[in-house]
Amino acid sequence: MAGTETSAGDGKSVRDRIPQIIRNEGADPVTYVAGAEEYRARLREKLREEVAELLDADEGSAPGELADVAEVLLALAADLGLSPEQLEAIRVAKAGERGSFAGRIVWMGNR
């Protein structure tokens, strides 16, 4: 983290405490607050990044990576005006309607 520099136009969404953590390490982070449209786009890009890290993770690091994915999902939900409880209610309704993934079913097509 410290020592990483980006050129103009680069950057990525980071957790809210990251700038202070960087300062505590003796560096001076360059940050700004994204507007609504940029924020949504950057969150979607962050989700891609976190999912890729989860897919590459071993069993030991997978729980932390999964938590990172969940954090971005909750931020995306909030950006859409959904509370965690509302998101969970939608998930439960879809699971009731279509099922979940607990059965480990693999669809091979139709006959």
pLDDT at 37: 96
The pLDDT value given to residue 1 = 42
pLDDT, averaged across the chain? 93
Q: At what angle do helices 36-56 and 62-79 cross, to 10 degrees?
A: 160
Q: Is residue 77 part of a domain?
A: yes
As a whole number of angstroms, the distance between CA 86 and CA 102 comes to 22
| CB of 58 closer than 8 Å to CB of 49 | no
Q: Is residue 11 part of a domain?
A: no
Q: Say how many domains are in the chain.
A: 1
Tell me the per-residue pLDDT of 6-57, one tens digit each, with 9 for 90 and over: 444 689 999 999 999 999 999 999 999 999 999 999 999 999 999 999 999 9
User: Is 49 part of any domain?
Assistant: yes
Measuring CA to CA, which residue among 85, 103, 104 is closest to residue 93? 85
Lowest mean pLDDT among 7-21, 60-74, 84-98: 7-21
Q: Report the alpha-carbon angle 5-7-12, nearest 5.
A: 70
pLDDT above 80 (res 5): no
pLDDT-derived band of residue 75, with 50, 70 and 90 as boundaries?
A: very high
Integer Cα distance of 20 and 17 in angstroms = 5
Residue 91 lies in domain:
35-98
